[in-house]
Amino acid sequence: MSETDNTAHLASQPHERMMFNIAIFHFLLPAILFATENLWLIFSVPIACSLMMILSIWIQAHRPANKTELVLAHWQCAWRRSRFLIVSYVVSLILFLIAWGVLQGQEDPNMRMIQLAVIGWFCLIPISLTVVGLIILETSALAQARRGIMPQKMRL
């Protein structure tokens, strides 16, 4: 493997990590956990795992040692895009807390749980839209990293 190929491979790793995060923690793991029928488990475990993956991207983006300019730029690009995912988690949490607060006025506890379950799915829309956008952005970034193109040339 030539030095250029090795650099391109290293530059593609942050985008591969983001795609892994999206594929495993936003599609596969929730589908597996859906069998538990425990909504808190279905939502909390994938988000916690995703945040750990994002933390690993943040660490690499802020460690310039032994990284070429191209590789570091791609780690920083992946970190910038990871922040979109974090913001979508916060927005979804705020929407869910607002819905939960409003539904506390519902006197029937069974009806409150049904309404909360339905509204809870709508609170996931920010995460879903962000995941779709990140799939598009990261696919493009991954292809460009493999060709050795700097992220500044990419549209964020």
3 state SS for 66-132: CCCHHHHHHHHHHHHHHHHHHHHHHHHHHHHHHHHHHHCCCCCHHHHHHHHHHHHHHHCHHHHHHHH
- pLDDT value of position 5: 80
- pLDDT value of position 152: 66
Report residue 139 as tokens. Answer: 């696919």
- pLDDT value of position 62: 94
- pLDDT value of position 4: 75
- pLDDT value of position 155: 43
User: Buried b / exposed e across 121-144, counting CB within 10 Å, b at 16+?
Assistant: eebbebbeebbeebeebbeebbeb
- pLDDT value of position 153: 59
Structure-token match 């506890």, residue found: 109
- pLDDT value of position 34: 87
Which parts of the chain sit beneath pLDDT 70?
Answer: 1, 152-156
Q: Considering the entire predicted model, what is its pTM?
A: 0.88
- pLDDT value of position 40: 82
Can you give the residue ranges of every domain in the chain? Answer: 3-145
Report residue 105 as tokens. Answer: 């006025």
